[in-house]
Amino acid sequence: MIRSRCAADLLIDGSPTQAAWLRWLESVVTRWPDRVNIFAWEIYSEVNLTENATEENGINFVERSAAVARAADSSYRPLTASLAGVGY
């Protein structure tokens, strides 16, 4: 079965979309290791607005992404992921 590449697929562990996104995230972090003007990495913005997001798959995605970013960043910059406002 071929799955579509949509934002909801980012939250499916092991999906081709998530794997491609994690590779992209790693490439971004490793591309600029010596840039002192990069203070932190934002893993994802408003993850709870992603189609089919649940607390469980959102947390799993952010934790998996954080592990990739931490492993790629020799400067150990802070990481963040945001949620949309209350009530969404």
pLDDT by residue (tens digit) across 52-72?
Answer: 899 999 999 999 999 999 999
21-25: list long-range contacts, CB under 8 Å, 24+ apart. 21/65, 22/64, 22/65, 22/68, 25/65, 25/68, 25/69, 25/72
Number of independent structural domains in the chain: 1
Domain encompassing residue 63: 37-88
23 located within any domain: no
5 located within any domain: no
Predicted TM-score (pTM) above 0.75: yes
6 located within any domain: no
- The string of pLDDT tens digits covering residues 22-46 is 999 999 999 988 888 999 999 899 9
67 located within any domain: yes
18 located within any domain: no
